[in-house]
């Protein structure tokens, strides 16, 4: 039986992801839309096995200004879903219905899931859903995705719609000059729209907006294009406004009219009132950034020194016990010496040293997920807008940078949401300076060995160092390569809400799963390679002294270049090379080269670094070129090997200069 294809569409922060998780549970997979790198989630509705639900990117309109908007409209127009589930935030219904009107123009059967109705009711407000449904000609189901209210009714409505599909009534909510322009253009393009399988009203509206993508898709003649432009100019002249404002006014006038009859708003919801009070402090002109730093300092302290540190020690004990028993088993089996060394000092030591940081990764992302789902991260972008403008970027660029604290790959991909090519390229270059989670094992290794009493302070300083270098780089790039002004920043701040436990757990599981996948694939392979290179010489003789190995000879050449930075040991240089495959490999490489577990690695590091050179090493690992996966994402987004290589070269050069300054200036005082 062929699965029905359903599309879940809505504004950002409307509860779309929460509803998707409620409907599909854990039965979902993640991929990319064809031809682009915007992530999509596809899941099977638990109570409706014959339906596949596609979670479309959160958008505010169907105008092709961002990649998310292009993806959403192309998916609906080309993949032909049987049903659109349009999730609407009931606490901000006027703003959300703007997208609803555009979705109606696509003439695809649709159900509106009116989310957060519990908050509307609790605040004493009300929405007459029956009247609103009659006005729009679309069935409306009141729900609360966070509390799983109304979900059964929504599923029943979906089943009914799939069994008895009902086309949406052709919307005609325009009046006056806009009405005349739309209908005049519709007569001109009717045959073209039918031939190319585009809804007539949608195509006409896009042409009024000046949508070049639609104009090319309809394959219009030059004479038709000229007539259409004359019609639009006449409309603009009559209304004394531009084409886009005319359509926006038309839509909002209609929304205002139907909401006046259907929505009773006595006051803002309690969550909105609470948010305004909290924002007086968290978005304060002078206190906003210090509060953010204080929150992150607290998170790092709890993660590394309180909960995460203890759990890491327990896991280290377990891994060490497993390695000892496994070593004993291999000895009893009388396996060859080289295989024994490979499995214990290569695989177990390399993978185990990285695996022990799993609790820290999970706990850190638990806190970050709380900040994101609560709505605080949107405030951070708002607060950072003023600072970012000084370096030539808007607050919107801070969103990819925030993602960069998790992983540089999706962060670089997220720059596609930026409408300015200048802002996008500049953000791609600066985002890897944000310290990704893959570097956490390196920080944990260095702080445990050299700064056990000042872990939180060292960690915050490292994160701030990356941000500072990004700021300085922004100033330089703004004056040289990326001259010009950044685009205006407009962002809707969602109300603060208590994060859903399931959403937080799923986020943590995704990060843990990704970490484990890297540990048992990339790190596993890198550990074997490093063991081989440090166990054999160029004549492939098995060695007891790794200083004579292939790896040592390669590392020694690089160590001479790194000597001014304070770490001229070939093992440190080699670890940095392996870090290009995956940043966690820096730890696994040093663990393999010192042939020990985490406790032995901590004891061996003072033979390679001094406290000052260790901090210099930290600074270098924060800033130098990201892993191969991130480099590939950079090349893909920039569509140029040359620009990608120049970006990596700039990042590595910046890392070298900063580490050099830290060590050389520090040597004057220490």
Q: How confident is the model at residue 26 (pLDDT cuts 50, 70, 90)?
A: low
Residue appearing with tokens 């957060």:
116
Residue 176 pLDDT = 85
* Residue 152 predicted with pLDDT over 70: yes
Neighbours of 490 (CB within 10 A): 9
Q: Which residues pair with 42 in a beta bridge?
A: 29, 54
* Residue 660 predicted with pLDDT over 90: yes
Spatial neighbors of 371 by CB under 8 A, at least 6 apart, are 295, 377
Q: How confident is the model at residue 487 (pLDDT cuts 50, 70, 90)?
A: low
CB burial class (10 A; 0-12, 13-18, 19+) of residue 195? Answer: exposed
Residue 37 pLDDT = 43
Mean residue pLDDT of the chain comes to 84
Mean pLDDT of 627-648: 85
Residue 517 pLDDT = 80
Mean pLDDT of 339-347: 83
Which residue did the predictor score with more confidence, 184 or 28? 184
CB burial class (10 A; 0-12, 13-18, 19+) of residue 250? Answer: buried
Mean pLDDT of 170-193: 86
Euclidean distance between the first and the last CA atom of the chain, given in angstroms as a whole number? 73
Q: How confident is the model at residue 256 (pLDDT cuts 50, 70, 90)?
A: very high
Backbone angles phi, psi at 140, to 5 degrees: -115, 130
> Nearest-CA neighbor of 1 among 53, 56, 40, 48?
48
Q: What is the 3-state secondary structure (H, E, C) of 59-119?
A: CCCCCCCCHHHHHHHHHHHHHCCCEEEEEEEHHHHHHHHHHHHHHHCCCCCEEEEEECHHH
By percentage, how much of the chain surpasses pLDDT 90?
29
pLDDT in tens, 113-125: 999 999 999 888 9
Residue 34 pLDDT = 42
pLDDT in tens, 458-469: 888 998 899 889
By percentage, how much of the chain surpasses pLDDT 70?
93
Report which secondary-structure segment, H or E, holds 7.
strand 4-10
Residue 592 pLDDT = 81
d(CA 348, CA 444): 19
Residue 9 pLDDT = 93
d(CA 378, CA 371): 9
Residue 417 pLDDT = 65
Q: How confident is the model at residue 411 (pLDDT cuts 50, 70, 90)?
A: confident
Q: Which of 62-76, 164-178, 484-498 has the lowest mean pLDDT?
A: 484-498
Rounded (10°) angle between helices 421-430 and 455-479? 140
* Residue 620 predicted with pLDDT over 50: yes
Could you tell me the two tokens for 304?
A: 């590394």
Residue 658 pLDDT = 95
Could you tell me the two tokens for 599?
A: 């406790």
Task: Compute CA 209 distance to the chain's CA centroid, rounded to the nearest angstrom.
Answer: 30
358, 316 Cβ separation under 8 angstroms: no
pLDDT in tens, 80-109: 899 999 999 999 999 999 999 999 999 899
* Residue 61 predicted with pLDDT over 90: no
Q: Which of 92-101, 259-268, 418-427, 486-495 has the lowest mean pLDDT?
A: 486-495
* Residue 30 predicted with pLDDT over 70: no
CB burial class (10 A; 0-12, 13-18, 19+) of residue 42? Answer: middle
* Residue 656 predicted with pLDDT over 90: yes
Q: How confident is the model at residue 485 (pLDDT cuts 50, 70, 90)?
A: low
* Residue 48 predicted with pLDDT over 80: yes
pLDDT in tens, 363-409: 877 887 888 788 887 788 778 777 777 777 777 777 778 777 777 87
Report helix, strand or coil for 47. coil
Residue 600 pLDDT = 67
Residue 490 pLDDT = 58
* Residue 515 predicted with pLDDT over 80: no
Spatial neighbors of 436 by CB under 8 A, at least 6 apart, are 404, 405, 406, 407, 408, 411, 583, 626
pTM over cut 0.75: no
């Amino acid at each position: 039986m062929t699965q029905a294809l359903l599309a879940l569409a809505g504004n950002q922060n409307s509860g779309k992801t929460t509803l998707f998780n409620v409907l599909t549970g854990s039965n979902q997979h993640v991929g990319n839309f064809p031809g682009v790198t915007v992530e999509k989630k596809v899941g099977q509705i638990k109570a409706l096995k014959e339906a596949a639900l596609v979670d479309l990117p959160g958008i505010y309109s169907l105008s092709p200004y961002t990649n998310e908007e292009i993806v959403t409209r192309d998916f609906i127009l080309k993949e032909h879903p049987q049903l659109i589930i349009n999730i609407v935030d009931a606490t901000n219904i006027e703003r959300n219905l703007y997208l609803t009107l555009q979705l109606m123009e696509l003439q695809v059967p649709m159900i509106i899931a009116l989310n957060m109705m519990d908050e509307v009711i609790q605040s004493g407000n009300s929405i007459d859903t029956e009247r609103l449904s009659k006005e729009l000609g679309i069935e409306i189901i009141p729900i609360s995705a966070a509390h799983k209210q109304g979900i059964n009714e929504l599923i029943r409505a979906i089943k009914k719609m799939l069994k008895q599909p009902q086309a949406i009534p052709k919307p005609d909510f325009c009046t006056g000059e806009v009405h005349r322009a739309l209908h005049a253009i519709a007569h001109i393009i009717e045959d073209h729209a039918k031939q190319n399988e585009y809804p007539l009203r949608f195509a006409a509206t896009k042409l009024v907006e000046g949508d070049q993508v639609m104009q090319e898709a309809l394959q219009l003649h030059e004479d038709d294009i000229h007539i259409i432009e004359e019609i639009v100019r006449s409309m603009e002249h009559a209304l004394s406004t531009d084409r886009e404002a005319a359509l926006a006014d038309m839509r909002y006038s209609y929304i205002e009219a139907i909401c006046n009859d259907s929505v009773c708003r006595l006051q803002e919801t309690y969550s909105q009132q609470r948010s305004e009070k909290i924002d007086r402090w968290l978005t304060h002109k002078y206190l906003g950034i210090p509060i953010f730093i204080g929150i992150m300092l607290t998170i790092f302290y709890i993660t590394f020194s309180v909960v995460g540190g203890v759990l890491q020690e327990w896991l280290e004990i377990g891994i060490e016990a497993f390695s000892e028993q496994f070593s004993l088993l291999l000895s009893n089996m009388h396996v060859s010496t080289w295989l024994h060394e490979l499995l214990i000092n290569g695989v177990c030591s390399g993978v185990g040293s990285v695996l022990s940081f799993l609790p820290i990764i999970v706990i850190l992302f638990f806190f970050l997920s709380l900040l994101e789902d609560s709505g605080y991260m949107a405030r951070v972008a708002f607060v950072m807008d003023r600072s970012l403008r000084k370096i030539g970027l808007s607050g919107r660029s801070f969103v990819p940078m925030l993602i960069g604290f998790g992983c540089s790959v999706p962060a670089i991909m997220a720059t596609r949401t930026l409408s300015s090519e200048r802002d996008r390229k500049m953000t791609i270059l600066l985002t890897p300076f944000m310290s990704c989670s893959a570097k956490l094992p390196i920080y944990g290794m260095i702080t445990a060995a050299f700064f056990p009493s000042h872990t939180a302070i060292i960690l915050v300083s490292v994160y701030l160092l990356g941000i500072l270098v990004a700021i300085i780089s922004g100033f330089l790039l703004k004056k040289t390569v990326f001259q010009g002004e950044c685009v205006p920043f407009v962002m809707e701040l969602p109300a603060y809400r208590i994060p859903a436990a399931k959403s937080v757990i799923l986020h943590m599981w995704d990060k843990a799963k990704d970490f484990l996948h890297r540990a048992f694939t990339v790190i596993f392979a890198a550990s074997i390679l490093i063991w081989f290179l440090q166990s054999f010489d160029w004549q492939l003789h098995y060695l007891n002294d790794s200083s004579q190995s292939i790896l040592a000879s390669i590392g020694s050449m690089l160590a001479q270049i790194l000597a001014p930075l304070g770490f001229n040991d070939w093992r440190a240089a080699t670890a940095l090379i392996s870090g290009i495959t995956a940043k966690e490999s820096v730890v696994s490489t040093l663990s393999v080269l010192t042939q020990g577990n985490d406790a032995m690695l901590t004891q061996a590091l003072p033979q390679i670094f001094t406290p000052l050179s260790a901090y210099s090493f930290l600074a270098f690992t924060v800033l130098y070129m990201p892993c191969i996966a991130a480099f590939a994402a950079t090349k893909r987004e920039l569509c140029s090997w040359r620009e990608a290589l120049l970006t990596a070269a700039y990042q590595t050069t910046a890392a070298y200069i900063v580490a050099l300054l830290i060590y050389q200036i520090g040597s004057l005082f220490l």
